[in-house]
Structure 1
Amino acid sequence: MEDDVDGWRIVERPGRLGSDRLRRVAEWDDTYGPGSWRLAWLVAGQYHDGNASLSLYEDAYFHLLRGSTEVLEALVSTARDVYVHDLSDTGSGLDYRRQDAPGHHLEDIAIRRCLVRLGLWFHGDRLVRLGGVDKDPDPGWLRSQLSPHRLPFHRPDLLIRPELTGWWLPGSVESFYQSNKFLLARAAEG
């Protein structure tokens, strides 16, 4: 991949960063220089920053919650809040930029933002963990419904093909987030 896009060179599709995030960022800083690389998501032929991908990620949850009374009712009646990795995830509230735990967490924030968009909020009594569904032999029905690696992406026409493979299902929200992500580096001036 050596195409240029508005002064940026397409380097790779890095896929999931996970616990390797800090090491990969340091590697990209060493290779390209701080501020000389970025992650961008390809949507409809254009490269966008993370805000575009998060809008679509969140819309998948909105589509689910607006379209499934069963899931929505189970969520708001069971949970007092949701988290992915650590109870501190709840401190992120509605802000995707607030990532205090070692791993990034998006689905909890997306769900909170969708509830606000729907004019609803939690009124249950449990903190519901969303993460670890793939490692839990019995994650429960609600957690399975809300897992980004299982939730079908509502705009399959926007998925970059071939999709990257990983612990997520093809056509899922997580597949969109990982498959459409590209590493771009500043193109050499010439």
Structure 2
Amino acid sequence: MLWWLKARRALIVLPVALAVYLLYVLASRDTFVALPSLVGGSNVVLSSFAPVPVVAGLAVVLSARLPAAEVSGTRRVARWDTALVTAVVLTAVVLGLLLVPLTGATQAAAAGRNTAFLTGLFLCARTVTGPRGVLVPVAWLMAVVLLGFRASGDPYPWTVVPEPPGAPHAALGAAVLFLAGIATLPRMSRKLS
């Protein structure tokens, strides 16, 4: 298993990605910024972009593989990939939840939820686009900024990311999409290219 972690570069990439995520959430706290929008007014919480380093780190780790050796081997690489992705996302969620009482930044909890949502989106997109699937969560964030807000500044329910931390539909959407993404991992780990 240690060789698998080294081959995936997980011991280097993922701690750095989680550290950048943590620093970003700490620095942004509950800061809202007015960003240009095509529809309505978008007053976006800055921590909405915090999951990007975690998703990018997971993309690097999951693409660092030896397909022929993994497909022909007897080890259960798909299970290890699933456990690794789940552990990283759970770490991001726990970090976000721990930061709420420590800093008073309520949006830190939403950053963890958004990490699960955008990771699930990346994993689902990866089955269709391959490694370029990492661009889909970034495109989602841009679509949310440009099209995701009503004229009153309230986000549409489909956006998930800018919803407040306690929004039940956002939490449900993040959980469903994350589980759907996790379900795609065994299929991707058995592909040769």
Q: Is the pair's TM-score, using the shorter chain for normalization, greater than 0.5?
A: no
TM-score, structure 2 length as denominator? Answer: 0.29
Please identify which structure carries the higher strand content.
1
TM-score in terms of structure 1 length: 0.29
Q: Which has the higher contact order (CA 8 A, sep 6+)?
A: 1
